[in-house]
Amino acid sequence: MGAVEKPRDALPVTAGWEYASSLEGREIVSFEERYGLFIGGDHVTPRSRSWFTTVSPSTEEPLAEVAQAGPRDVALAVEAAQEAFERWSTWRPAERAKVLFRIARVLQERARELAVAESLDGGKPIKESRDVDLPLAAAHFFYYAGWADKLEYAFPGRRPRPLGVAAQIVPWNFPLLMLAWKIAPALACGNTVVLKPAETTPLTALLFADVCRQAEVPPGVVNIVTGDGSTGAHLVRADGIAKVAFTGSTEVGKAIQRELAGRDIPLTLELGGKAANIVFDDCALDQAVEGIVNGIYFNQGHVCCAGSRLLVQESIHDQLVRKLKRRMATLRVGDPLDKNTDVGAINSKAQLDRITELVQSGTDEGAELYQPPCRLPEKGWWFAPTVFTNVAQSHRIAQEEIFGPVLSVLTFRTPDEAVEKANNTMYGLSAGVWTEKGSRILWMADRLRSGVVWGNTFNRFDPASPFGGYKESGFGREGGRHGLEAYLRFE
């Protein structure tokens, strides 16, 4: 009797088997009951006398009380940074490099603790905070430590000088990593900083204050003011700042640009995205499926450069969608501290509502929704991995940034059509191209209006590689030698 043949693209059967949970130790991190602001090297009580509670999105458990900085607090932080700038900017660059190097080493030493804190406060799976956020955050400090005493070589024939106090505002999707992207180049160039973390994820920035103490960062060189959007607005308006760097929504980015109009303050904006992940019929299909899954379900899709639009060549559409659905059925949604978890919690109730609303619009506009069967935890904020087929370019789910685990599938026939559809968005942050032909990757990269184009991979980051957008994805570059330029003036 012949054996029953499995379909060639079948995955091993998982039904009936359960993973044993493998929890990362929660006890490695202990939060204070209440955090003040980090100003001039000290934790200070906010003048505003106001606090808010930060909760874990996976359990809704309160984690700590955090200060809500008002205008007076922000002004004090900027004053502390101005005072520190007088000395820090005159340090020998090689000495500044040592400070950055020490920060990188302390981040490595405390990686486990910081990864757990990041997953608790933000909801991302521990395997991501442990294997992506922390190693990359440390790598950014190592990388820019290397540049600190070589600025003259980075810009031959020009005399680079620091700007002064950099006001830096970061979002909730990569709290510590975005902090590293901002603070490392600013300090390497001799600036001092006032950083505002997002309201829902302030804890790793507050732990970073302790990393600064351990690394002997001089008082006032790094200041951290927590609070909601109003704290960010006070920071942008503050007297004494010499630079603004913002990562977040296009809407707030535009508001900041308006606020700075007429003031001679350089600005970098890293805003939203609606990346096209473009799959040609000659690609390694299983590898592409992995790239698609990584592109959209990594960090619950809370990624500005997420591959949220899948453009697939018509001839392989059905086969690819079938493989993708099978792969999605193996994704494990649940406790961020479980090392087996692939998709963690949605960062906040507000973000969950936004995702739910946009997904509803997809169904209403006629796209076809698929979600693999999965049990979502009862407490906390969750959304199952989702894919929409039969999507039209005019649908909101093909135009707007959902910032959740939701993929929209569209088709194309020719490379020209793929380029046209990929560029048919107000954003221009990233794109992916999957094909066996190297020449086609280069041809596409030339025509895609995206700051980053990945070839046969997705969501790859390296401190040496510049990152940033076109169109409404913002301007300026972070990372690499280009990332230094944003924090320098030239004599």
Instruction: Pick one of 96, 140, 182, 196: the residue that binds ligand NDP (CB under 6 A).
Output: 196
Own/partner pairs, 369-376, CB within 8 angstroms, 24+ separation: 370/325, 370/328, 372/325, 372/328, 372/329, 372/331, 373/329, 374/331, 374/332, 374/333, 376/333
Contact between 228 and ligand NDP by CB under 6 A: the answer reads yes
User: What does the alpha-carbon distance between residue 64 and residue 399 come to, in Å, rounded to a whole number?
Assistant: 37
Name which of 197 and 334 has its Cβ closer to ligand NDP: 197
SS3 358: helix
Residue 65 has phi, psi (to 5 degrees) of: -95, 140
Side-chain-side CA neighbours of 37 within 13 Å: the count stands at 33
Instruction: Pick one of 164, 171, 405, 468: the residue that binds ligand NDP (CB under 6 A).
Output: 171
User: What does the alpha-carbon distance between residue 93 and residue 137 come to, in Å, rounded to a whole number?
Assistant: 21
Contact between 77 and ligand NDP by CB under 6 A: the answer reads no
User: What does the alpha-carbon distance between residue 417 and residue 446 come to, in Å, rounded to a whole number?
Assistant: 15
Helices marked H in 298-437: 317-328, 349-364, 396-399, 415-423
Contact between 70 and ligand NDP by CB under 6 A: the answer reads no
The set of residues, in sequence order, having a beta carbon less than 8 Å from that of 253 and lying 6+ positions away, is 246, 269, 271, 474
Pick from 247, 108, 102, 96: nearest CA to 167? 247
* Dihedral sign computed on CA atoms, order 145, 148, 149, 154: positive
Contacting ligand NDP within 391-420 (CB under 6 A): 401, 403
The distance of closest approach from Cβ of residue 255 to ligand NDP in the complex, given in angstroms and rounded to an integer, is 5
Contact between 479 and ligand NDP by CB under 6 A: the answer reads no
User: What does the alpha-carbon distance between residue 295 and residue 293 come to, in Å, rounded to a whole number?
Assistant: 5
The distance of closest approach from Cβ of residue 244 to ligand NDP in the complex, given in angstroms and rounded to an integer, is 9
Number of helices (H), then strands (E), in the chain: 17, 20
Contact between 254 and ligand NDP by CB under 6 A: the answer reads no
Name which of 308 and 313 has its Cβ closer to ligand NDP: 308
Name which of 125 and 469 has its Cβ closer to ligand NDP: 469
Contact between 71 and ligand NDP by CB under 6 A: the answer reads no
Name which of 236 and 242 has its Cβ closer to ligand NDP: 236
Contact between 173 and ligand NDP by CB under 6 A: the answer reads yes
Q: Which amino acid does the sequence have at 144?
A: Y
Instruction: Pick one of 46, 248, 463, 476: the residue that binds ligand NDP (CB under 6 A).
Output: 248
Contact between 341 and ligand NDP by CB under 6 A: the answer reads no
The set of residues, in sequence order, having a beta carbon less than 8 Å from that of 340 and lying 6+ positions away, is 19, 21, 22, 332
Contact between 274 and ligand NDP by CB under 6 A: the answer reads no
The residue range among 79-87, 116-124, 242-250, 446-454 that interacts with ligand NDP, by the rule CB under 6 A, is 242-250
- Tokens linked to 249: 């929504």
Name which of 352 and 453 has its Cβ closer to ligand NDP: 352
User: What does the alpha-carbon distance between residue 379 and residue 269 come to, in Å, rounded to a whole number?
Assistant: 35
The residue range among 58-66, 249-257, 363-371, 432-440 that interacts with ligand NDP, by the rule CB under 6 A, is 249-257
Contact between 354 and ligand NDP by CB under 6 A: the answer reads yes
The set of residues, in sequence order, having a beta carbon less than 8 Å from that of 48 and lying 6+ positions away, is 67, 68, 69, 70, 72, 73
- Tokens linked to 352: 């969950």
Contact between 265 and ligand NDP by CB under 6 A: the answer reads no
Contact between 198 and ligand NDP by CB under 6 A: the answer reads yes
Instruction: Pick one of 162, 185, 220, 232: the residue that binds ligand NDP (CB under 6 A).
Output: 232
Name which of 105 and 354 has its Cβ closer to ligand NDP: 354
Contact between 204 and ligand NDP by CB under 6 A: the answer reads no
Instruction: Pick one of 229, 240, 455, 466: the residue that binds ligand NDP (CB under 6 A).
Output: 229
Contact between 183 and ligand NDP by CB under 6 A: the answer reads no
Helices marked H in 123-202: 126-128, 134-147, 151-154, 175-188
Name which of 151 and 271 has its Cβ closer to ligand NDP: 271
Contact between 249 and ligand NDP by CB under 6 A: the answer reads yes
Contact between 299 and ligand NDP by CB under 6 A: the answer reads no
Task: Spell out, one character per residue from 366 to 385, where the chain touches ligand NDP: x when CB under 6 A holds, - when not.
Answer: --------------------
Contact between 454 and ligand NDP by CB under 6 A: the answer reads no
Contact between 199 and ligand NDP by CB under 6 A: the answer reads yes
The residue range among 67-75, 246-254, 416-424, 453-461 that interacts with ligand NDP, by the rule CB under 6 A, is 246-254
Name which of 22 and 360 has its Cβ closer to ligand NDP: 360
Active site residues: 270, 304
Contact between 212 and ligand NDP by CB under 6 A: the answer reads no
If you write DSSP's letter for every residue of 92-133 in order, what string do you get?
Answer: -HHHHHHHHHHHHHHHHHTHHHHHHHHHHHH---HHHIIIII
Contact between 468 and ligand NDP by CB under 6 A: the answer reads no
Binding site for ligand NDP (CB under 6 A): 169-173, 196, 198-199, 228-229, 232-233, 236, 247-249, 252, 255-256, 271-272, 304, 351, 354, 401, 403
